[in-house]
Amino acid sequence: MAELLYIAAALMLGLGAIGAAIGIGILGGKFLEGAARQPELVPLLRTQFFIVMGLVDAIPMIGVGLGLYVLFAVAG
């Protein structure tokens, strides 16, 4: 049973990291697209970019916390 918990924790960590990487990549591409389309809005877009990037990056941190909980508290 403990082996399945290790696999579940690894999937939580790995899929969270992959999802965040894809989300930040798409977000960065859209930021560059918007900056190229309307250069006068770059300061506004940059502010929104970093706020949303922080929110996107917070999701895997929750997954890391849950994964470590599964590893050490439940399986331990």
Could you give the domains of the chain?
Answer: 1-74 (1.20.20.10)
Tokens of 76: 């331990």
- pLDDT top residue among 5 and 28: 28
Mean pLDDT of 26-34: 96
Q: What whole-number distance in Å separates Cα of residue 69 and Cα of residue 71?
A: 5
- Nearest 5°: CA angle at 71, between 68 and 72? 85
**Catalytic choice (6, 47, 57, 65):** 57
Q: If pLDDT is split at 50, 70 and 90, which confidence band does 75 have?
A: confident
Asked whether the predicted pLDDT for residue 45 surpasses 80, the reply is yes
Residue 57 a catalytic site member: yes
CA distances from residue 32 to 9, 23, 41, 73, 75 in whole angstroms, order as listed = 35, 14, 11, 43, 44
pLDDT at 76: 67
Predicted TM-score of the model (pTM): 0.79
